[in-house]
Structure 1
Amino acid sequence: MRIDIITCVPKLLESPFSHSILQRAQNKGLAEVVVHNLRDYTVNKHKHVDDYAFGGGAGMVLMIDPIDRCIKHLRESRTYEEVIYMSPDGELFNQSIANELSLKGNLIILCGHYKGVDERVREHLVTREISIGDYVLSGGELGAAVVADAVIRLIPGVLSDETSALTDSFQDGLVAPPVYTRPADYQGMKVPDILLSGNEKLIEKWRFEQAVERTRKRRPGLLLD
């Protein structure tokens, strides 16, 4: 999988893809993340990628021209299954969408900035709009990093334990149950006896019951869904 991220502030994305699982995935050749500076696709000498909104109003708007140039340039080299725009009013990102995107080939993620992008970008150039929550960030870069992380970790071979991603929260519509590790007794705070019993069937039953109860208390909407 290759993910191309288009942004006018590429330095914001230097760290997320240079560490941990995302770096390991790229080193293994399982995923490739390439960040493109939108300013490289401008035709004006000042490298402006934004302008005032027609009709007036506060804030600047990303112009369609450099975005279109960048996407066309990328499409000359490969096929992309989705061109995603990170938008506050896009579909709310969740584990189901992450699973879906992880099965696709190449993705483009466009990061909005300022007051957003010229509406013609949304109407004609992108295939999908995604939001990571009902709040506004300074730009789409952090959202793009979130989406890339959630998607790439699902690619087979990225995680050391192939079953780890399958037991994550939300994969089965529930949040994950509590987990414990050594020591079994820390200053009187003990691990539940069932987890030390060695009885896998009872342990799995306990974990499921805990997941349901935790979901009921913390994220009841998931049970309704």
Structure 2
Amino acid sequence: MWRATILTLFPEMFPGPLGLSLAGDALARGVWELETRQIREHGIGRHRAVDDTPAGGGPGMVMRADVLAAAVDAAAPADDPRPRLLMSPRGRPLTQRRVRHLARGPGAMILCARFEGVDERIIAARGLEEVSIGDYILSGGEIAALALMDACVRLLPGVMGEELSGQEESFEDGLLEYPQYTRPRDFEGREIPEVLLSGDHGEIAKWRRAEAVKLTRARRPDLLARKED
């Protein structure tokens, strides 16, 4: 079973949207498992402090290495085979290739940071892999963790109804997905392309491929450049 353990200061944010639709149904059926752990349980002192002022000065607060180490060790002992992820805007961008790799594995332990981030020493000390979902800043790692889990869970066997539906989407072949159409045939003077109504699967496949390339060239030329490398 694919198992996710979330270390967070806000466990009530989970499962959130993952408790609905396909992911929620799969969670209820035991296809995957979600565990949340409150970092503050390992906090220091009477007030369970999890952060302190940054060394060298500066604004904000930094999450303490000793607190996070205790939280990680309790959630994922040394023999836990799951990768240890830290959601971070400075991490490597999450790609569909990485998502597929994670989905094939046993799951993940995901640390959701807050404030100005974490003490750098915890990253090396506990082998954390920093992962980013985009070049922007969120209030914390929870929303990023939800996005990562959603991307993984939908690829698990038994989650999506059509096995091929996950193979013809954006990024699966290094391209954005081709345009999709359905009834009505005519919508405000805009008609479904005739080739899609022809029944000629070979021509349909060629059209979809050409449209995917055209869209990718217009919107994400960087993806095409990677395919050509």
Q: TM-score range by the shorter chain?
A: over 0.9
Q: TM (normalized to structure 2)?
A: 0.93
> Which structure 1 residue ranges, 5 or more long, are not aligned?
none
Say whether the 8 Å CA contact 1:80–1:108 is kept in structure 2: no
Q: Per the alignment, in what secondary structure is the counterpart of residue 171 of structure 1?
A: coil
Aligned to 2:178: 177
Matched, 1:160 2:161: yes
Aligned to 1:61: 62
Matched, 1:40 2:18: no
Moved over 6 A (4+): none
Aligned to 2:149: 148
Structure 1 residue 204: deviation in Å? 0.9
Q: What is the rounded CA distance, in whole Å, between the counterparts of 1:154 and 1:77 in structure 2?
A: 27
User: Structure 1 residues 6 and 119, CA, compared in 2 at 3 Å: closer, same or farther?
Assistant: same
Q: How does 1:67-106 map to 2 (within 5 A)?
A: 67-76=68-77, 79-106=80-107
Say whether the 8 Å CA contact 2:44–2:50 is kept in structure 1: no
Q: TM (normalized to structure 1)?
A: 0.95
Structure 1 residue 163: deviation in Å? 1.0
Structure 1 residue 14: deviation in Å? 4.2
Q: How does 1:121-140 map to 2 (within 5 A)?
A: 121-140=122-141
Structure 1 residue 123: deviation in Å? 1.6
Aligned residues: 225
Q: Which amino acid aligns with 1:114?
A: F
Aligned to 2:10: 9
Say whether the 8 Å CA contact 1:83–1:109 is kept in structure 2: yes
Q: What is the rounded CA distance, in whole Å, between the counterparts of 1:14 and 1:99 in structure 2?
A: 21
Q: Per the alignment, in what secondary structure is the counterpart of residue 167 of structure 2?
A: helix
Structure 1 residue 50: deviation in Å? 1.0
% identical aligned pairs: 38
Q: CA RMSD in A?
A: 1.5
Structure 1 residue 90: deviation in Å? 0.6
Q: What is the rounded CA distance, in whole Å, between the counterparts of 1:42 and 1:74 in structure 2?
A: 15
